[in-house]
């Protein structure tokens, strides 16, 4: 993990080093129990109390509930695989290779991995 954002940072479907591995919390599971791998390569301050996180995330098929914090923004781009993001309001957006999706602060819904997924992400948590 990098504490500072360098001038150039390349993210790709294949990242060096060992990822952090986890699974969705049991109370959030809807279907499956997918293994998730995260290479968080940037964890940098932006302003007092605000942070930027960037990296690559890989996941097996599964479906679980998600809830963003009130100041948490995410933009991700699918590098391989397919996913659906379901909003609590009934909206659904399917995203595949080369497509990006922005999630707003306070977003609530669920994340469904349809095919093994690899995405790059940038998360900004603004205090």
Q: How far apart are CA 72 and CA 94, in angstroms?
A: 21
Report the chain's terminal Cα–Cα distance, integer Å: 22
- Structural domain contains residue 36: yes
- pLDDT tens-place string over residues 86-120: 999 999 999 999 999 999 999 999 999 999 999 99
- Structural domain contains residue 24: no
- Structural domain contains residue 12: no
- pLDDT tens-place string over residues 22-70: 999 999 999 999 999 999 999 999 888 899 999 999 999 999 999 999 9
Mind giving me the DSSP string for 102-124? EE-TT-EEEEEEEEEEEEEEEEE
- Structural domain contains residue 11: no
- Structural domain contains residue 19: no
What is the pLDDT at residue 1?
Answer: 46
Give residue 106's Cα distance to chain centre. 15
- Structural domain contains residue 20: no
What is the pLDDT at residue 127?
Answer: 77
Structural domain total, the chain:
1
The reported pTM is 0.91
Residue ranges making up the domain that contains 41: 29-125
Residue 48: which CATH number? 2.60.120.10
């Amino acid at each position: 993990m990098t504490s500072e954002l360098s001038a150039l940072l390349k993210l790709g479907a294949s990242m060096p080093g060992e990822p952090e591995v986890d699974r969705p919390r049991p109370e959030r599971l809807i279907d499956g129990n997918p293994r998730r791998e995260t290479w968080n390569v940037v964890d940098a301050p932006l302003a007092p109390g605000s942070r930027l996180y960037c990296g690559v995330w890989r996941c097996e098929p599964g479906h679980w509930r998600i809830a963003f914090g009130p100041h948490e923004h995410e933009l991700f781009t699918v590098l391989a695989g397919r996913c659906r993001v379901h909003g609590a309001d009934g909206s659904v957006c399917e995203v595949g290779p080369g497509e990006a999706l922005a999630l707003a602060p306070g977003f609530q819904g669920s994340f469904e991995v349809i095919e093994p997924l690899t995405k790059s992400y940038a998360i900004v948590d603004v205090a």
